[in-house]
């Protein structure tokens, strides 16, 4: 045996005898909150019954009342500690098995009272399902000491076989529980990773779409700066040089933006040549949804007054698009109402559906869903909320702020 195995065995022995208690695990009645409510009083009544039974048996064996009371208390104490301190309950059980035997009648097949024998089996069954293998080995080994020293030779083999069976079953239960916990942790980690990836992909998609909007403005700046000396009369030489510098900076910015777009574009995403949609395209999208069988009504004010900046219009279009997709997937047959209201300081976008058999849920199918809508609203400094309505429907609401004085010109 190498040093590492000896060190592991010694640590396990120290844990078994003096170490902190094993975790109790999930309560047995956790799935049934109704019965679990009565577990404590029922357990106390059962412990009291075992105490009285043990006291009666010990009195029949001729023990003095103080000793009988002590032995009855030592029989019940492990069962009281078992729910929260299983390893401590096992230590008390071994102590009771070694002590509560010296006055048993000689004609008895077992040196212990029935409550102590059955309670010891129950405690051991719980403990072996809570501790790891090194501690389990010591628990079973130490538990055999009272059996080998106090049990009649004719009864030792069945008891030892019972101990071995409990150890094997308990180890299988513990490993199965650990496997379930590991799978649950892995599933939670995978879900978080998928959510994080969905957020990153949506942010990348938003950046690619905003590239066209920003590039449009930078192109206008470059063109205006280059043509300013020809469109304006009597432009001083320093001002003309400044216009040339502005045009050059705008062209450099466009070049850097194209490089950035190449970094953001994934391997499976080709260049997007179609113009980015805005509020003026909502009617076309709603008509397409109606032709697909989705009952949609659109309530939107004039969208061509130039007050809504292009990034806000693009975000509003995508939010409505994903809201309609969610309604079609998760609230089939429900009536959908799209409301877009442009104010002096912001744009309110609302997509709600009437009650349906299935409610909209987040991120179903497309990989964006509520995550994408929330990211678009937050990227513009706005807010996004989603949730059920009092009548049983579902609504998503986005507030997209903007400066009306600084909109597209």
Summarised one tens digit per residue, pLDDT across range 110-141 is: 778 888 888 888 888 888 888 888 888 888 88
Q: Strand runs (DSSP E) across 131-259, as ranges?
A: none
| 130: its two tokens | 């809570």
Res. 337 pLDDT band, cuts 50 70 90: very high
**22 contacts 87 by C-beta, under 8 angstroms:** yes
From 14-18, 208-212, 332-336, 363-367, the region with the lowest mean pLDDT? 363-367
| 252: its two tokens | 């450099």
Q: What is the pLDDT of residues 144-186, one digit of tens each?
A: 888 888 887 878 888 888 888 988 888 888 888 888 888 888 8
DSSP 301-338: ----SS-S-HHHHHHHHHHHHHHHHHHHHHSTT--EEE
What helix, strand, coil percent values describe the chain, rounded to 5?
65, 10, 30
Average pLDDT of the chain is 78
**218 contacts 250 by C-beta, under 8 angstroms:** yes
Strand partners, 339: 299, 350
pLDDT of residue 396: 92
pLDDT reading at 22 higher than 80: no
More confident site: 211 or 10: 10
d(CA 344, CA 56): 87
**73 contacts 92 by C-beta, under 8 angstroms:** no
Q: Which helix (H) or strand (E) holds 246?
A: helix 237-264
Q: What is the pLDDT of residues 384-397, one digit of tens each?
A: 999 888 888 899 99
Q: What is the pTM of this model?
A: 0.48
Distances (CA, A) of 13 to 132, 134, 287, 407: 12, 8, 75, 75
Q: How many CA atoms lie within 13 A of 165 on its CB side?
A: 7
pLDDT reading at 29 higher than 70: no
Strand 296-300 relative to strand 336-342: parallel, antiparallel, unpaired? parallel
Distances (CA, A) of 199 to 204, 230, 255, 381: 9, 47, 27, 16
Average pLDDT over residues 70-80: 84
d(CA 95, CA 118): 15
d(CA 90, CA 140): 11
d(CA 236, CA 230): 12
């Amino acid at each position: 045996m190498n040093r590492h195995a000896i060190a592991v065995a010694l640590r396990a022995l120290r844990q078994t005898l003096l170490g902190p208690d094993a975790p109790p695990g999930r309560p047995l009645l956790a799935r049934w909150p109704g019965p679990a409510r009565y577990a404590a009083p029922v357990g106390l009544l059962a412990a009291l019954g075992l105490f009285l039974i043990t006291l009666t048996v010990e009195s029949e064996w001729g023990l003095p009342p103080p000793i009988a009371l002590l032995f009855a208390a030592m029989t019940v104490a492990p069962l009281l500690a078992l729910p929260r301190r299983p390893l401590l309950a096992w230590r008390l059980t071994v102590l009771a098995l070694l002590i509560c035997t010296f006055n048993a009648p000689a004609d008895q097949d077992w040196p212990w009272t029935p409550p102590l024998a059955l309670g010891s089996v129950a405690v051991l069954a719980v403990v072996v399902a809570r501790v790891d293998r090194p501690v389990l080995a010591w628990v079973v080994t130490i538990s055999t000491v009272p059996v080998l020293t106090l049990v009649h030779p004719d009864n030792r083999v069945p008891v030892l076989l019972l101990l071995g069976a409990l150890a094997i079953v308990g180890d299988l239960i513990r490993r199965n529980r650990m496997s379930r916990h590991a799978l649950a942790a892995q599933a939670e980690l995978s879900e978080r990773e998928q959510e994080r990836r969905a957020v990153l992909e949506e942010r990348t998609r938003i950046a690619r779409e905003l590239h066209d909007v920003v590039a449009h403005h930078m192109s206008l700046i470059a063109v205006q700066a280059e043509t300013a000396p020809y469109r304006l009369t009597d432009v001083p030489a320093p001002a003309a040089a400044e216009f040339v510098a502005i045009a050059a900076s705008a062209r450099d910015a466009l070049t850097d933006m194209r490089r950035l777009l190449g970094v953001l574009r994934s391997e499976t995403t080709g260049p997007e040549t179609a113009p980015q949609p805005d509020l003026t395209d909502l009617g076309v999208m709603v008509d397409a949804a109606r032709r697909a069988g989705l009952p949609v009504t659109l309530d939107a004010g004039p969208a061509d007054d130039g007050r809504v900046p292009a990034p806000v219009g693009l975000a509003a279009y995508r939010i409505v698009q994903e809201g309609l997709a969610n309604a079609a997937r998760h609230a089939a047959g429900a009536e959908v109402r799209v409301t877009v209201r442009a104010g002096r300081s912001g744009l309110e976008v609302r997509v709600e559906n009437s009650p349906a058999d299935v409610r909209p849920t987040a991120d179903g199918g497309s990989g964006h869903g509520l995550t994408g809508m929330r990211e678009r609203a937050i990227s513009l400094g706005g807010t996004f909320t989603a949730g059920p309505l009092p009548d049983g429907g579902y609504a998503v609401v986005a507030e997209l702020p903007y400066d009306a004085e600084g909109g597209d010109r």
